[in-house]
Structure 1
């Protein structure tokens, strides 16, 4: 799932009328396929709500394993890869969905399922057209071959990949 040849740009997946992905259950990842320097020059600080609603600061670091061709932004699981991909992007909503906070506090997500869109808007607070940036600089890969005891296998595979690939947008605070 993380081999460069299996990663397709968002632009390649989104056609005029359809998204070129299966409606099958599986596990997926979003990748930064744009210039790495652009990603590392982005806003890499976020303030989350920690225990007792106290703010806790997290820094997104260049901590991806060297064997990855691209930095991983988010790993997830779904019962429908195509639908979940679409929910992450919210293509029907142009412009920005999340206001940038001057002190990098986490904006309330527009929905509970748009982690990729939210993350891109957080790290690029001055980007007026986040969908265009996502289209050209974000890639996607998935696998749907976890069939034996699939729910459990997707659960464990997501956790394993989050721990291995260290995606920025999967980080949450402890409460």
Structure 2
């Protein structure tokens, strides 16, 4: 894959399931601010602490799993490289509260900005430390199979940025 900060990324315009991975030093990730406070049922605060809960067989910790009708477009929505490329989209909250996201499509960038609240060059961190994988191989009953694969991978790989509160 090319430089995510400057190059046109050679990803397909096809439907699929994808994952973002922490490929840098695991200790750096585990030293991050791993708490987030979400709004739960009845508007009550729910504190979540991101644990080292990934399966041992994973070489890299999984950060986010998703499904999409267009891999290239969805990748770009997560990174948002043309929006404040040298800064942050989301201001850090001093008490770990989840701030209002820039949009509902940038879960990866939001998550990285949340766990590294002092990091200004967030895209540089993503370029250095985050990997991406995907599959578009769904020959039969594709919509249902993408749904089930995403659900199964979230349940198995336990990605931090897929955690949301119950409503």
Which category of TM-score, normalised to the shorter sequence, fits these structures? over 0.9
Matches within 5 A, 1:4-19: 12=2, 14=4, 16-19=6-9
Structure 2 counterpart of 1:76: 66
Q: Find the partner of 2:20 among 13, 30, 35.
A: 30
How far is 1:115 from its partner?
0.2
Structure 2 counterpart of 1:54: 44
Structure 2 counterpart of 1:136: 128
Structure 2 gaps of 5+ residues are none
Structure 2 counterpart of 1:43: 33
Structure 2 counterpart of 1:100: 92
Contact 1:14 1:20 in 2 (8 A): no
Measured against aligned partners, the alpha-carbon deviations of 1:41-60 in whole angstroms (never above 9, x if no partner) come to: 00000000011101010000
User: Aligned with 2:125: secondary structure?
Assistant: helix
Q: Distance in 1 between matches of 2:10 and 2:115?
A: 27
Higher alpha-carbon deviation: 13-22 or 30-39 = 13-22
How far is 1:107 from its partner?
1.2
Q: Distance in 2 between matches of 1:113 and 1:76?
A: 10
Structure 1 gaps of 5+ residues are 1-7
2:164 corresponds to 1:146: no
- Return the TM-score normalized by structure 2: 0.96
Residue-pair matches, total: 165
Contact 2:5 2:127 in 1 (8 A): no
Which contiguous aligned blocks of 4+ residues in structure 1 show a shift greater than 2 angstroms? 12-17
Measured against aligned partners, the alpha-carbon deviations of 1:51-89 in whole angstroms (never above 9, x if no partner) come to: 110101000000000000000000000010011000000
2:145 corresponds to 1:159: no
Structure 2 counterpart of 1:123: 115
